[in-house]
Amino acid sequence: DIQMTQSPSSLSASVGDRVTITCRASQGISNYLAWYQQKPGKVPKLLIYGASTLQSGVPSRFSGSGSGTDFTLTISSLQPEDVASYYCQKYNTAPLTFGGGTKVEIK
């Protein structure tokens, strides 16, 4: 099965900083990659699908890129409300594996 590896596992950044989270697939998955945000005590929320398509209603400071095995989620200007854990998920085939998650905090 394809493994999904996220890095870093956690990060601390200042408000206004540009934040980048990486997700790497052990084999190519084309652009079948989604990103989710889970705020503390809340349910996951879809941010991006198709590696780079922003889900309706998601702020434009979030963006995704990549194809094949290497993907990136970028927050262009970190806001206090972005404190959360972020997960990638591959969905080219089953199993629909999630990455281990990245916890984002404010410095």
Partner 1 sequence: EVQLVESGGGLVEPGGSLSLSCAASGFIFSSYAMSWVRQAPGKGLEWVSSISGGGNITYYADSVKGRFTISRDTSKNTLYLQMNTLRAEDTAVYYCSKVRSEVVVAASNYWGQGTPVTVSS
The CB-of-99 to partner 1 minimum distance in angstroms stands at 8
Interface characters, 54-83, with partner 1 (x: CB under 8 A): -x----------------------------
Question: How many angstroms separate the CA atoms of 36 and 34, rounded?
Answer: 7
Residues 10-49 that bind partner 1 (CB under 8 A): 32, 34, 36, 38, 43-46, 49
Q: Are 101 and 87 in contact (CB under 8 A)?
A: yes
Question: Which residues share a beta bridge with 67?
Answer: 70
The CB-of-80 to partner 1 minimum distance in angstroms stands at 23
Q: To which residue do tokens 């434009």 refer? A: 60
Token pair for residue 49? 């699908």
Question: How many angstroms separate the CA atoms of 28 and 21, rounded?
Answer: 18
Which residues make up the interface to partner 1 (CB under 8 A)?
A: 1, 32, 34, 36, 38, 43-46, 49, 55, 85, 87, 89, 91-101
